[in-house]
Chain A
Amino acid sequence: MTSNTPYIVEGRLFVPYFNYYGALASEFYRQLRDHKKIMGIKCPTCSKVYIPPRSTCAKCFGNLNEWVDVSSKGTVTTYTIIHYTYSPSNQPMDVPYACGIIQLDRADTGLCHLLGEMSPDKISVGMRVEAVFKDQRQGNILDIKYFRPV
Protein backbone atom coordinates (compact mmCIF):
# COMPACT_ATOMS: atom_id res chain seq x y z
CA MET A 1 0.00 0.00 0.00
CA THR A 2 2.55 2.58 -1.09
CA SER A 3 1.58 6.06 -2.15
CA ASN A 4 4.55 8.07 -3.17
CA THR A 5 3.40 11.70 -3.01
CA PRO A 6 0.38 12.25 -0.74
CA TYR A 7 -2.49 13.84 -2.69
CA ILE A 8 -3.74 16.92 -0.80
CA VAL A 9 -6.82 18.94 -1.70
CA GLU A 10 -6.88 22.37 -0.08
CA GLY A 11 -10.34 23.52 0.98
CA ARG A 12 -12.24 25.59 3.48
CA LEU A 13 -15.33 25.90 5.60
CA PHE A 14 -16.59 29.49 5.38
CA VAL A 15 -19.99 29.51 7.07
CA PRO A 16 -21.65 32.54 8.74
CA TYR A 17 -23.51 32.18 12.06
CA PHE A 18 -25.54 34.45 14.32
CA ASN A 19 -25.86 33.14 17.90
CA TYR A 20 -28.52 34.99 19.93
CA TYR A 21 -27.54 36.07 23.45
CA GLY A 22 -31.12 35.62 24.72
CA ALA A 23 -33.25 38.16 26.62
CA LEU A 24 -31.15 38.20 29.82
CA ALA A 25 -27.72 38.71 28.23
CA SER A 26 -29.25 41.22 25.79
CA GLU A 27 -30.35 43.28 28.83
CA PHE A 28 -26.78 43.01 30.26
CA TYR A 29 -25.34 44.37 27.01
CA ARG A 30 -27.96 47.16 26.69
CA GLN A 31 -26.95 48.42 30.13
CA LEU A 32 -23.27 48.15 29.14
CA ARG A 33 -23.72 49.78 25.75
CA ASP A 34 -26.14 52.55 26.71
CA HIS A 35 -25.12 53.28 30.31
CA LYS A 36 -21.59 51.82 30.73
CA LYS A 37 -23.06 49.78 33.61
CA ILE A 38 -21.88 46.25 34.46
CA MET A 39 -24.73 44.21 35.95
CA GLY A 40 -24.70 40.88 37.80
CA ILE A 41 -27.62 38.55 38.41
CA LYS A 42 -28.46 37.45 41.94
CA CYS A 43 -29.59 33.98 43.01
CA PRO A 44 -31.71 34.57 46.14
CA THR A 45 -31.56 30.88 47.15
CA CYS A 46 -27.77 30.58 46.99
CA SER A 47 -27.34 34.32 47.83
CA LYS A 48 -24.71 34.67 45.12
CA VAL A 49 -24.21 37.40 42.52
CA TYR A 50 -23.12 35.89 39.24
CA ILE A 51 -21.25 37.54 36.41
CA PRO A 52 -21.49 36.75 33.57
CA PRO A 53 -25.26 36.73 34.20
CA ARG A 54 -27.26 33.59 33.39
CA SER A 55 -31.00 32.82 33.61
CA THR A 56 -30.54 29.57 35.58
CA CYS A 57 -28.46 28.91 38.71
CA ALA A 58 -26.40 25.74 38.12
CA LYS A 59 -26.41 24.82 41.81
CA CYS A 60 -30.10 25.16 42.72
CA PHE A 61 -31.53 25.24 39.16
CA GLY A 62 -33.62 28.26 40.14
CA ASN A 63 -34.78 30.90 37.64
CA LEU A 64 -32.69 34.06 37.95
CA ASN A 65 -34.02 37.52 37.12
CA GLU A 66 -32.87 39.84 39.96
CA TRP A 67 -30.34 42.33 38.57
CA VAL A 68 -27.65 43.79 40.83
CA ASP A 69 -25.23 46.64 40.11
CA VAL A 70 -21.67 45.36 40.05
CA SER A 71 -18.68 47.68 40.31
CA SER A 72 -16.44 48.27 37.30
CA LYS A 73 -13.47 47.83 39.65
CA GLY A 74 -12.14 44.48 40.75
CA THR A 75 -9.20 42.19 41.56
CA VAL A 76 -7.21 40.02 39.14
CA THR A 77 -7.49 36.39 40.32
CA THR A 78 -5.41 34.88 37.47
CA TYR A 79 -3.97 36.03 34.17
CA THR A 80 -1.92 34.94 31.16
CA ILE A 81 0.13 36.70 28.49
CA ILE A 82 -0.59 35.47 24.96
CA HIS A 83 2.52 35.21 22.78
CA TYR A 84 1.29 32.76 20.13
CA THR A 85 -0.87 33.61 17.12
CA TYR A 86 -2.54 31.74 14.24
CA SER A 87 -4.19 32.60 10.93
CA PRO A 88 -6.73 33.88 10.24
CA SER A 89 -6.53 35.24 13.78
CA ASN A 90 -9.56 36.58 15.67
CA GLN A 91 -7.30 37.86 18.46
CA PRO A 92 -8.67 41.15 19.85
CA MET A 93 -5.16 42.69 20.28
CA ASP A 94 -1.70 42.23 18.81
CA VAL A 95 0.52 39.71 20.64
CA PRO A 96 1.83 39.83 23.24
CA TYR A 97 -1.34 40.83 25.10
CA ALA A 98 -2.72 39.89 28.47
CA CYS A 99 -6.06 38.47 29.52
CA GLY A 100 -7.24 37.36 32.91
CA ILE A 101 -10.13 36.69 35.26
CA ILE A 102 -11.31 39.72 37.23
CA GLN A 103 -13.37 39.36 40.41
CA LEU A 104 -15.46 42.55 40.27
CA ASP A 105 -16.48 44.10 43.59
CA ARG A 106 -19.94 42.91 44.77
CA ALA A 107 -19.78 39.89 42.41
CA ASP A 108 -19.16 36.35 43.67
CA THR A 109 -17.77 35.04 40.37
CA GLY A 110 -15.05 36.30 38.01
CA LEU A 111 -15.27 37.76 34.52
CA CYS A 112 -12.80 36.73 31.79
CA HIS A 113 -11.46 39.79 30.03
CA LEU A 114 -8.44 41.57 28.55
CA LEU A 115 -5.84 43.47 30.61
CA GLY A 116 -4.30 46.64 29.12
CA GLU A 117 -2.23 49.74 29.78
CA MET A 118 0.39 47.83 31.71
CA SER A 119 3.55 46.02 30.74
CA PRO A 120 3.31 42.21 31.16
CA ASP A 121 5.77 42.02 34.08
CA LYS A 122 3.65 44.51 36.05
CA ILE A 123 0.60 42.19 36.09
CA SER A 124 0.17 40.25 39.33
CA VAL A 125 -2.53 38.14 40.93
CA GLY A 126 -4.43 40.31 43.42
CA MET A 127 -3.80 43.64 41.68
CA ARG A 128 -6.69 46.13 41.50
CA VAL A 129 -8.04 46.99 38.03
CA GLU A 130 -10.90 48.97 36.55
CA ALA A 131 -12.88 48.66 33.33
CA VAL A 132 -12.09 50.96 30.40
CA PHE A 133 -15.13 51.42 28.16
CA LYS A 134 -14.93 51.97 24.43
CA ASP A 135 -16.43 55.19 23.07
CA GLN A 136 -18.22 53.38 20.24
CA ARG A 137 -20.09 50.50 21.95
CA GLN A 138 -22.06 47.86 19.98
CA GLY A 139 -23.50 45.58 22.67
CA ASN A 140 -20.84 42.89 23.09
CA ILE A 141 -18.17 41.94 25.62
CA LEU A 142 -15.56 44.06 23.81
CA ASP A 143 -17.56 47.20 24.69
CA ILE A 144 -15.24 46.94 27.66
CA LYS A 145 -11.91 47.62 25.90
CA TYR A 146 -9.87 46.06 28.71
CA PHE A 147 -9.18 46.40 32.42
CA ARG A 148 -6.30 48.63 33.46
CA PRO A 149 -4.53 49.17 36.79
CA VAL A 150 -6.41 51.41 39.23
Chain B
Amino acid sequence: MSNRVAIIGVGQTYHASKRPDVCITELCNEAVRAALEDAELTMKDIDAVVTGNMELFEGRYHQDLWQVDYIGSYHKPGFRVTTGGTTGGTLACTAFYCATSGQYDVVMSVTFEKQGEGDSRAGLKIVADPIWDRWITTGAIGTLARLGSWYMKEYGATEEHAALVRLKADRNACLNPHSHLKLHLKSVEDVLKSEMLVPPLRRLDMCPASEGACAIIVASEQKARKLSRKPVWVKDWVEVHNETRYNRGDPVSLENLEKAATTLFRRNGITNPRRDISMAEIYEPATWAELVWFEAFQFCQKGEAYKLVEKGATERDGEFPVNPSGGVIATNPIGATGMIRVAEAAMQIRGDAGPHQVTREVKRTFTTAWGGSSWTVAHLLSKTLD
Protein backbone atom coordinates (compact mmCIF):
# COMPACT_ATOMS: atom_id res chain seq x y z
CA MET B 1 0.00 0.00 0.00
CA SER B 2 2.12 2.83 -1.31
CA ASN B 3 0.30 5.98 -0.28
CA ARG B 4 -0.58 6.63 3.35
CA VAL B 5 -3.65 8.34 4.81
CA ALA B 6 -4.89 9.55 8.19
CA ILE B 7 -8.19 10.47 9.80
CA ILE B 8 -7.81 14.04 11.07
CA GLY B 9 -11.39 14.82 12.10
CA VAL B 10 -14.53 12.97 13.21
CA GLY B 11 -18.05 14.27 13.90
CA GLN B 12 -21.38 12.74 14.90
CA THR B 13 -24.85 13.98 15.67
CA TYR B 14 -26.65 13.14 18.94
CA HIS B 15 -28.35 10.03 17.57
CA ALA B 16 -32.02 9.68 18.49
CA SER B 17 -35.19 7.91 17.40
CA LYS B 18 -36.62 11.13 16.00
CA ARG B 19 -35.02 14.41 14.91
CA PRO B 20 -38.06 16.48 13.78
CA ASP B 21 -36.06 19.68 14.36
CA VAL B 22 -33.81 19.05 11.34
CA CYS B 23 -34.33 17.98 7.74
CA ILE B 24 -32.07 15.28 6.25
CA THR B 25 -29.47 17.77 4.99
CA GLU B 26 -29.38 19.74 8.25
CA LEU B 27 -28.74 16.44 10.08
CA CYS B 28 -25.71 15.86 7.82
CA ASN B 29 -24.65 19.48 8.32
CA GLU B 30 -24.44 18.90 12.08
CA ALA B 31 -22.00 16.00 11.61
CA VAL B 32 -19.95 17.94 9.01
CA ARG B 33 -19.62 20.96 11.32
CA ALA B 34 -18.64 18.68 14.24
CA ALA B 35 -15.92 17.04 12.09
CA LEU B 36 -14.57 20.45 10.95
CA GLU B 37 -14.48 21.64 14.56
CA ASP B 38 -12.73 18.43 15.66
CA ALA B 39 -10.12 18.85 12.92
CA GLU B 40 -9.88 22.61 13.53
CA LEU B 41 -10.47 23.20 9.82
CA THR B 42 -12.94 25.14 7.68
CA MET B 43 -14.76 24.06 4.53
CA LYS B 44 -12.08 25.89 2.49
CA ASP B 45 -9.57 23.21 3.51
CA ILE B 46 -11.72 20.41 2.03
CA ASP B 47 -10.85 19.28 -1.53
CA ALA B 48 -13.70 16.81 -2.16
CA VAL B 49 -16.89 15.58 -0.47
CA VAL B 50 -18.26 12.03 -0.74
CA THR B 51 -21.52 10.81 0.73
CA GLY B 52 -24.00 7.92 0.85
CA ASN B 53 -26.99 6.35 2.64
CA MET B 54 -29.66 3.64 2.16
CA GLU B 55 -31.33 4.95 -0.98
CA LEU B 56 -34.99 4.01 -0.59
CA PHE B 57 -35.18 4.59 3.19
CA GLU B 58 -36.14 8.27 3.02
CA GLY B 59 -37.51 8.14 -0.54
CA ARG B 60 -35.04 10.61 -1.98
CA TYR B 61 -33.40 10.20 -5.44
CA HIS B 62 -29.79 11.41 -6.01
CA GLN B 63 -29.73 12.41 -2.33
CA ASP B 64 -26.29 14.07 -2.70
CA LEU B 65 -27.80 16.81 -4.89
CA TRP B 66 -30.11 18.22 -2.20
CA GLN B 67 -27.21 17.99 0.31
CA VAL B 68 -24.89 20.28 -1.70
CA ASP B 69 -25.51 23.48 0.26
CA TYR B 70 -25.29 21.66 3.61
CA ILE B 71 -22.24 19.34 3.37
CA GLY B 72 -19.94 21.76 1.61
CA SER B 73 -19.86 20.18 -1.86
CA TYR B 74 -20.99 23.45 -3.58
CA HIS B 75 -18.58 24.01 -6.51
CA LYS B 76 -16.43 21.14 -5.24
CA PRO B 77 -15.77 17.64 -6.64
CA GLY B 78 -17.42 14.62 -5.11
CA PHE B 79 -19.77 11.71 -5.75
CA ARG B 80 -22.10 9.29 -4.04
CA VAL B 81 -21.52 5.63 -3.18
CA THR B 82 -24.14 3.35 -1.62
CA THR B 83 -23.72 -0.25 -0.49
CA GLY B 84 -26.62 -0.84 1.85
CA GLY B 85 -25.83 -1.53 5.48
CA THR B 86 -22.08 -1.32 4.82
CA THR B 87 -22.45 2.20 3.39
CA GLY B 88 -20.89 3.88 6.44
CA GLY B 89 -17.90 1.55 6.33
CA THR B 90 -17.63 1.82 2.55
CA LEU B 91 -17.71 5.65 2.59
CA ALA B 92 -14.75 5.56 4.98
CA CYS B 93 -12.93 3.47 2.35
CA THR B 94 -14.08 5.88 -0.38
CA ALA B 95 -12.42 8.74 1.51
CA PHE B 96 -9.26 6.63 1.98
CA TYR B 97 -9.14 5.87 -1.78
CA CYS B 98 -9.60 9.56 -2.66
CA ALA B 99 -6.94 10.78 -0.19
CA THR B 100 -4.36 8.20 -1.37
CA SER B 101 -5.08 8.67 -5.09
CA GLY B 102 -3.03 11.82 -5.38
CA GLN B 103 -6.06 13.60 -6.83
CA TYR B 104 -7.30 15.03 -3.51
CA ASP B 105 -5.46 15.78 -0.26
CA VAL B 106 -8.28 16.48 2.22
CA VAL B 107 -11.60 14.63 1.81
CA MET B 108 -14.87 14.96 3.77
CA SER B 109 -17.05 11.83 3.89
CA VAL B 110 -20.53 12.08 5.41
CA THR B 111 -23.17 9.39 5.86
CA PHE B 112 -26.56 9.42 7.56
CA GLU B 113 -29.92 7.76 8.00
CA LYS B 114 -33.20 9.33 9.06
CA GLN B 115 -35.19 6.13 9.50
CA GLY B 116 -38.18 7.83 11.10
CA GLU B 117 -39.00 9.36 7.71
CA GLY B 118 -39.74 5.99 6.06
CA ASP B 119 -40.50 2.41 7.14
CA SER B 120 -37.21 0.63 7.66
CA ARG B 121 -38.72 -2.83 7.78
CA ALA B 122 -40.42 -2.20 4.41
CA GLY B 123 -37.08 -0.80 3.20
CA LEU B 124 -35.36 -4.07 4.16
CA LYS B 125 -38.16 -6.16 2.65
CA ILE B 126 -37.56 -4.41 -0.68
CA VAL B 127 -33.99 -5.77 -0.64
CA ALA B 128 -35.42 -9.15 -1.70
CA ASP B 129 -35.91 -10.12 -5.37
CA PRO B 130 -39.29 -8.60 -6.37
CA ILE B 131 -40.43 -11.80 -8.15
CA TRP B 132 -38.72 -14.63 -6.25
CA ASP B 133 -38.92 -13.97 -2.51
CA ARG B 134 -40.00 -10.41 -1.67
CA TRP B 135 -43.46 -11.79 -0.68
CA ILE B 136 -41.99 -14.05 2.03
CA THR B 137 -38.77 -12.39 3.18
CA THR B 138 -38.50 -11.34 6.85
CA GLY B 139 -35.32 -9.34 6.21
CA ALA B 140 -32.47 -9.22 8.73
CA ILE B 141 -34.52 -10.28 11.78
CA GLY B 142 -34.96 -13.85 10.50
CA THR B 143 -31.25 -14.17 9.65
CA LEU B 144 -30.13 -12.90 13.06
CA ALA B 145 -32.58 -15.14 14.93
CA ARG B 146 -31.14 -18.21 13.20
CA LEU B 147 -27.65 -17.00 14.16
CA GLY B 148 -28.66 -17.19 17.83
CA SER B 149 -30.31 -20.61 17.75
CA TRP B 150 -27.36 -22.05 15.76
CA TYR B 151 -24.80 -20.61 18.23
CA MET B 152 -26.69 -21.95 21.23
CA LYS B 153 -27.06 -25.40 19.70
CA GLU B 154 -23.47 -25.53 18.39
CA TYR B 155 -21.53 -24.16 21.39
CA GLY B 156 -23.86 -24.34 24.38
CA ALA B 157 -24.33 -20.60 24.81
CA THR B 158 -27.59 -19.54 26.47
CA GLU B 159 -29.96 -16.58 26.16
CA GLU B 160 -28.37 -15.20 29.34
CA HIS B 161 -25.11 -14.71 27.42
CA ALA B 162 -26.91 -12.63 24.81
CA ALA B 163 -28.38 -10.62 27.69
CA LEU B 164 -24.85 -10.06 29.07
CA VAL B 165 -23.80 -8.61 25.71
CA ARG B 166 -26.80 -6.27 25.85
CA LEU B 167 -25.96 -5.19 29.42
CA LYS B 168 -22.36 -4.43 28.38
CA ALA B 169 -23.61 -2.40 25.42
CA ASP B 170 -26.06 -0.50 27.61
CA ARG B 171 -23.38 0.25 30.23
CA ASN B 172 -21.16 1.72 27.51
CA ALA B 173 -24.01 3.54 25.74
CA CYS B 174 -25.00 5.25 28.99
CA LEU B 175 -21.47 6.76 29.10
CA ASN B 176 -21.47 7.75 25.41
CA PRO B 177 -23.19 11.15 24.93
CA HIS B 178 -23.85 10.45 21.24
CA SER B 179 -25.50 7.03 21.67
CA HIS B 180 -29.23 6.65 20.97
CA LEU B 181 -30.56 4.15 23.54
CA LYS B 182 -29.51 4.72 27.19
CA LEU B 183 -31.76 2.21 28.97
CA HIS B 184 -29.90 1.85 32.31
CA LEU B 185 -30.67 -1.88 32.31
CA LYS B 186 -29.89 -3.46 35.66
CA SER B 187 -30.03 -7.24 35.24
CA VAL B 188 -30.19 -10.15 32.82
CA GLU B 189 -33.90 -10.42 33.69
CA ASP B 190 -34.48 -6.89 32.36
CA VAL B 191 -33.29 -8.16 28.95
CA LEU B 192 -34.97 -11.57 29.06
CA LYS B 193 -38.42 -10.07 29.67
CA SER B 194 -38.35 -7.91 26.52
CA GLU B 195 -40.78 -8.83 23.73
CA MET B 196 -39.83 -11.89 21.63
CA LEU B 197 -39.62 -11.08 17.88
CA VAL B 198 -38.46 -14.33 16.25
CA PRO B 199 -37.12 -16.88 18.81
CA PRO B 200 -34.53 -16.55 20.30
CA LEU B 201 -34.32 -12.89 19.21
CA ARG B 202 -35.94 -10.43 21.59
CA ARG B 203 -36.50 -6.72 21.00
CA LEU B 204 -33.55 -5.87 23.30
CA ASP B 205 -31.33 -8.28 21.35
CA MET B 206 -31.92 -6.17 18.25
CA CYS B 207 -30.60 -2.80 17.12
CA PRO B 208 -32.91 0.23 17.14
CA ALA B 209 -33.89 2.40 14.18
CA SER B 210 -32.09 5.71 14.73
CA GLU B 211 -31.79 9.08 13.09
CA GLY B 212 -28.21 10.30 12.92
CA ALA B 213 -25.25 11.28 10.78
CA CYS B 214 -21.50 10.77 10.97
CA ALA B 215 -18.68 12.53 9.12
CA ILE B 216 -14.93 11.92 8.93
CA ILE B 217 -12.21 14.11 7.44
CA VAL B 218 -9.36 12.17 5.86
CA ALA B 219 -6.04 13.57 4.66
CA SER B 220 -3.05 12.31 2.67
CA GLU B 221 0.06 11.66 4.81
CA GLN B 222 1.85 14.90 3.96
CA LYS B 223 -1.32 17.05 4.49
CA ALA B 224 -2.21 15.15 7.69
CA ARG B 225 1.19 15.92 9.22
CA LYS B 226 0.74 19.61 8.35
CA LEU B 227 -2.88 20.04 9.44
CA SER B 228 -3.40 17.73 12.40
CA ARG B 229 -1.94 17.46 15.93
CA LYS B 230 -3.61 14.06 16.43
CA PRO B 231 -3.77 12.14 13.11
CA VAL B 232 -5.07 8.54 13.29
CA TRP B 233 -3.28 6.47 10.64
CA VAL B 234 -5.25 4.15 8.37
CA LYS B 235 -3.15 1.00 7.95
CA ASP B 236 -5.46 -0.92 5.63
CA TRP B 237 -9.04 -1.61 4.62
CA VAL B 238 -10.86 -4.44 2.82
CA GLU B 239 -14.34 -5.04 1.38
CA VAL B 240 -15.83 -8.51 0.84
CA HIS B 241 -19.31 -8.90 -0.65
CA ASN B 242 -21.04 -12.20 -1.43
CA GLU B 243 -23.91 -13.63 -3.42
CA THR B 244 -27.49 -13.64 -2.18
CA ARG B 245 -28.26 -16.25 0.50
CA TYR B 246 -31.18 -17.82 -1.40
CA ASN B 247 -30.46 -21.27 -0.17
CA ARG B 248 -29.99 -21.19 3.58
CA GLY B 249 -28.64 -24.72 3.83
CA ASP B 250 -26.25 -23.99 6.63
CA PRO B 251 -27.90 -21.58 9.05
CA VAL B 252 -24.94 -19.24 9.16
CA SER B 253 -22.66 -17.90 6.41
CA LEU B 254 -19.42 -16.57 7.92
CA GLU B 255 -17.28 -17.10 4.82
CA ASN B 256 -16.89 -13.47 3.89
CA LEU B 257 -16.50 -12.20 7.46
CA GLU B 258 -13.64 -14.68 7.87
CA LYS B 259 -12.12 -13.65 4.54
CA ALA B 260 -12.27 -9.93 5.43
CA ALA B 261 -10.44 -10.47 8.74
CA THR B 262 -7.84 -12.98 7.45
CA THR B 263 -7.04 -10.78 4.43
CA LEU B 264 -6.55 -7.71 6.61
CA PHE B 265 -4.44 -9.61 9.18
CA ARG B 266 -2.31 -11.38 6.52
CA ARG B 267 -1.49 -8.11 4.76
CA ASN B 268 -0.45 -6.41 7.99
CA GLY B 269 1.50 -9.14 9.77
CA ILE B 270 -1.13 -9.75 12.46
CA THR B 271 -0.68 -13.30 13.74
CA ASN B 272 -2.38 -12.98 17.15
CA PRO B 273 -5.30 -10.58 16.69
CA ARG B 274 -6.07 -10.06 20.42
CA ARG B 275 -2.41 -9.25 21.07
CA ASP B 276 -1.58 -7.21 17.96
CA ILE B 277 -4.85 -5.21 18.08
CA SER B 278 -6.01 -3.23 21.13
CA MET B 279 -9.84 -3.17 20.70
CA ALA B 280 -12.64 -3.57 18.17
CA GLU B 281 -15.76 -1.70 17.12
CA ILE B 282 -17.76 -4.43 15.39
CA TYR B 283 -20.99 -3.69 13.46
CA GLU B 284 -23.31 -5.93 15.51
CA PRO B 285 -26.99 -5.57 14.55
CA ALA B 286 -27.86 -8.12 17.28
CA THR B 287 -26.30 -9.43 20.49
CA TRP B 288 -25.80 -12.83 18.88
CA ALA B 289 -23.89 -11.21 16.00
CA GLU B 290 -21.26 -9.78 18.39
CA LEU B 291 -20.62 -13.27 19.80
CA VAL B 292 -20.60 -15.27 16.54
CA TRP B 293 -18.77 -12.69 14.45
CA PHE B 294 -16.12 -12.03 17.14
CA GLU B 295 -15.15 -15.67 16.60
CA ALA B 296 -15.46 -15.39 12.78
CA PHE B 297 -12.94 -12.50 12.92
CA GLN B 298 -10.49 -14.95 14.63
CA PHE B 299 -10.27 -12.94 17.86
CA CYS B 300 -10.85 -16.18 19.83
CA GLN B 301 -11.63 -19.85 19.37
CA LYS B 302 -15.04 -21.03 18.22
CA GLY B 303 -17.43 -21.14 21.20
CA GLU B 304 -15.12 -18.98 23.35
CA ALA B 305 -16.72 -15.58 22.75
CA TYR B 306 -19.54 -15.95 25.27
CA LYS B 307 -17.08 -17.16 27.91
CA LEU B 308 -15.00 -14.00 27.35
CA VAL B 309 -18.14 -11.92 27.83
CA GLU B 310 -18.87 -13.79 31.07
CA LYS B 311 -15.33 -13.00 32.31
CA GLY B 312 -15.73 -9.32 31.33
CA ALA B 313 -12.73 -9.49 28.99
CA THR B 314 -14.53 -7.35 26.40
CA GLU B 315 -15.76 -4.68 28.81
CA ARG B 316 -14.70 -1.05 28.45
CA ASP B 317 -12.07 -1.68 31.14
CA GLY B 318 -11.37 -5.22 29.97
CA GLU B 319 -8.40 -6.85 28.31
CA PHE B 320 -9.86 -6.48 24.79
CA PRO B 321 -12.73 -3.94 24.74
CA VAL B 322 -15.45 -4.61 22.14
CA ASN B 323 -17.83 -1.78 21.20
CA PRO B 324 -17.04 0.61 24.07
CA SER B 325 -19.29 3.08 22.21
CA GLY B 326 -22.35 0.94 23.03
CA GLY B 327 -22.32 -0.46 19.53
CA VAL B 328 -25.04 -0.90 16.94
CA ILE B 329 -27.54 -2.47 19.36
CA ALA B 330 -27.63 0.94 21.10
CA THR B 331 -27.33 3.19 18.01
CA ASN B 332 -28.23 2.36 14.40
CA PRO B 333 -28.77 5.07 11.78
CA ILE B 334 -28.02 2.36 9.15
CA GLY B 335 -26.29 4.52 6.50
CA ALA B 336 -23.95 6.05 9.10
CA THR B 337 -23.54 3.04 11.42
CA GLY B 338 -20.46 1.65 9.66
CA MET B 339 -18.75 5.05 9.74
CA ILE B 340 -19.61 5.53 13.44
CA ARG B 341 -17.48 2.45 14.15
CA VAL B 342 -14.50 4.11 12.41
CA ALA B 343 -15.10 7.48 14.11
CA GLU B 344 -15.35 5.87 17.57
CA ALA B 345 -12.20 3.78 17.01
CA ALA B 346 -10.29 6.90 15.90
CA MET B 347 -11.30 8.77 19.09
CA GLN B 348 -10.28 5.79 21.24
CA ILE B 349 -6.82 5.78 19.58
CA ARG B 350 -6.50 9.53 20.23
CA GLY B 351 -7.62 8.94 23.84
CA ASP B 352 -10.33 11.61 23.71
CA ALA B 353 -13.45 9.43 23.28
CA GLY B 354 -14.77 10.99 26.51
CA PRO B 355 -16.66 9.18 29.31
CA HIS B 356 -16.59 5.85 27.39
CA GLN B 357 -12.81 5.97 26.72
CA VAL B 358 -11.34 2.49 27.33
CA THR B 359 -8.85 2.15 30.18
CA ARG B 360 -6.09 0.27 28.31
CA GLU B 361 -3.80 2.05 25.83
CA VAL B 362 -5.16 1.82 22.27
CA LYS B 363 -2.50 1.35 19.57
CA ARG B 364 -4.51 -0.41 16.85
CA THR B 365 -8.24 -0.90 16.28
CA PHE B 366 -10.32 -3.23 14.11
CA THR B 367 -13.64 -1.87 12.80
CA THR B 368 -16.25 -3.50 10.54
CA ALA B 369 -19.48 -2.73 8.71
CA TRP B 370 -22.12 -5.29 7.74
CA GLY B 371 -25.01 -5.21 5.30
CA GLY B 372 -26.43 -6.51 2.04
CA SER B 373 -26.43 -10.32 1.88
CA SER B 374 -23.91 -10.52 4.75
CA TRP B 375 -21.35 -8.19 3.14
CA THR B 376 -18.41 -7.08 5.30
CA VAL B 377 -16.10 -4.05 5.20
CA ALA B 378 -13.20 -3.96 7.66
CA HIS B 379 -10.58 -1.32 8.53
CA LEU B 380 -7.36 -1.33 10.54
CA LEU B 381 -6.50 1.99 12.24
CA SER B 382 -3.27 2.72 14.10
CA LYS B 383 -1.81 5.32 16.46
CA THR B 384 1.52 5.25 14.64
CA LEU B 385 2.61 4.66 11.05
CA ASP B 386 4.98 1.68 11.58
**Contact between chain A and chain B defined by CB under 8 Å:** yes
Distance A22 CA – B66 CA, assembled complex (angstroms): 14
Interface status of B74 (Cβ within 8 A of chain A):
yes
Q: Is the CB of A17 within 8 A of B43?
A: no
- Residues of A in contact, count (CB < 8 Å): 21
Distance A56 CA – B43 CA, assembled complex (angstroms): 12
Name B121-170 residues within 8 Å CB distance of A: 122-123, 126, 130-131
Distance A81 CA – B274 CA, assembled complex (angstroms): 67
Contact of B58 among A11, A17, A22, A57 (CB under 8 A): A17
Residues of A within 8 A of B (CB): 9, 11, 13, 15-25, 54-59, 61
Answer whether A20 and B23 are a contact pair too, CB < 8 Å, given A9-B130, A15-B59.
yes
Interface status of B68 (Cβ within 8 A of chain A):
yes
Q: Is the CB of B43 within 8 A of A61?
A: yes
Residues of B within 8 A of A (CB): 19-24, 26, 29, 42-43, 56, 58-60, 68-70, 72, 74, 114, 116-119, 122-123, 126, 130-131
Distance A130 CA – B29 CA, assembled complex (angstroms): 34
Q: Is the CB of A23 within 8 A of B74?
A: no
Can you list 9 A-B pairs, Cβ within 8 angstroms, ordered by A? A9-B131, A13-B126, A15-B56, A20-B117, A22-B21, A57-B69, A58-B68, A61-B42, A61-B72
Contact of A19 among B117, B126, B131 (CB under 8 A): B117
Distance A25 CA – B69 CA, assembled complex (angstroms): 15
Q: Is the CB of B23 within 8 A of A58?
A: no
User: Which chain B residues lie closer than 8 Å to A13 at the CB level?
Assistant: 56, 126
Contact of A15 among B19, B23, B60, B119 (CB under 8 A): B119
Closest Cβ–Cβ distance, residue A2 to chain B (whole Å): 21
Question: Which residue on chain A has the smallest CB distance to residue B69?
Answer: A58
Distance A54 CA – B71 CA, assembled complex (angstroms): 13
Closest Cβ–Cβ distance, residue A61 to chain B (whole Å): 4
Question: Which residue on chain B has the smallest CB distance to residue A50?
Answer: B69
Distance A5 CA – B245 CA, assembled complex (angstroms): 30
Distance A17 CA – B60 CA, assembled complex (angstroms): 10
Answer whether A54 and B69 are a contact pair too, CB < 8 Å, given A19-B59, A22-B26, A23-B21.
yes
Closest Cβ–Cβ distance, residue B268 to chain A (whole Å): 37
